[in-house]
Homo-oligomer: A and B are copies of this chain.
Amino acid sequence: MRPDFQSWLTGIQVRFERVLNELLPRADVAPQRLHEAMRYAVMDGGKRVRPLLAFAAGELVGADVERVNMVAAAVELIHAYSLVHDDMPCMDNDVLRRGKPTCHVQYDEATALLVGDSLQALAYQLLSEHRLNDDAERQLEMIKLLGVASGSRGMAGGQAVDLASVGKALTLPELEYMHICKTGALIRASILLGAQCGSGRKGNPLDANQIDRLDHFGKVVGLAFQVVDDVLDCEADTATLGKTAGKDADSGKPTYVSLLGIQGARDMALQLHREALDTLAQFGDAAMRLREMADFIVLRKF
């Protein structure tokens, strides 16, 4: 019998911390301060939503956990680097992240810049030095997927649009486009990479139509994730959130709440949640963890 969702989630979170601990350079290896700061930026961090999505997608296809570990670590390193850079004074200028001083506050700006750069390089090192798929050509496609998702037409591009939007009145489609890049691209990549660990000898590869459905699930869940974030950011206080609350609204950044109101944003999240579950219908029981992840992401606080 499969463990309930909470046990599955906790089990993965605990195991995944050990995986990250193994994969990050040790803090007593030179350059020590940089390696210590890389660990500070990555370890004990957040709920690990992207890795959890990768593991849930891996279960859909019966992927080898050792393989999913590597793609989960890679997407989490990319996510962690983006947080370190986004928090810097020239970007969002945030001093608190996950209840701790941000990396440039704890260390210094130059170190934070190099931490982000080094975490990105490490993500690609992991995806190329471990076998992730029986077919090396498929593995090259997986690396390309992460490059596109995190680059100028994905996560980094979304952050550029976000910065340019401060103080501007965006339309709902413009806001959606921005978030589909900024947070959605990496969430979609996490799911697709997890699923692609399953092709070859050790799992059941998906056909093109199934991959499209899974990608659509990722797109919808990624958007819902952002909408819920905006609602929580508006409602929660700083202590609960572990980062500075109300910051986006204060800084004149458009949010789903500022466009739709709290109730409108909540309704949108629930509608996206339904769409996400509908998209998984054809996968049957194998998609249980992905369904539970959709619940987890959308229903986490309301």
Contacts and interface: CB of A to CB of B under 8 A. Distances in A.
Interface of A: 25, 29-31, 33-35, 38, 81-82, 85, 88, 90-91, 108-111, 113-114, 116-118, 120-122, 124-125, 127-129, 135-137, 139-141, 143-144, 146-148, 150-154, 156-157, 159-161, 163-164
Nearest to A78: B121
Chain B CB within 10 A, most for which of A30, A38, A120: A120
Q: How many copies does the complex hold?
A: 2
B109 A128 contact: no
B30 A157 contact: yes
Chain B CB within 10 A, most for which of A34, A124, A127, A136: A124
A interface, by DSSP: helix, strand, loop or mixed? helix
Given A121-B120, A140-B136, A110 B163 contact: yes
A147 B121 contact: yes
Contacts of A128: 140-141, 143-144, 147
Given A117-B116, A136-B136, A124 B152 contact: no
Given A129-B144, A144-B128, A160-B33, A90 B117 contact: no
A252 to B, nearest CB: 15
Given A121-B147, A152-B118, A160 B34 contact: yes
Contact of A152 (B122, B140, B152): B122
Nearest to A25: B152
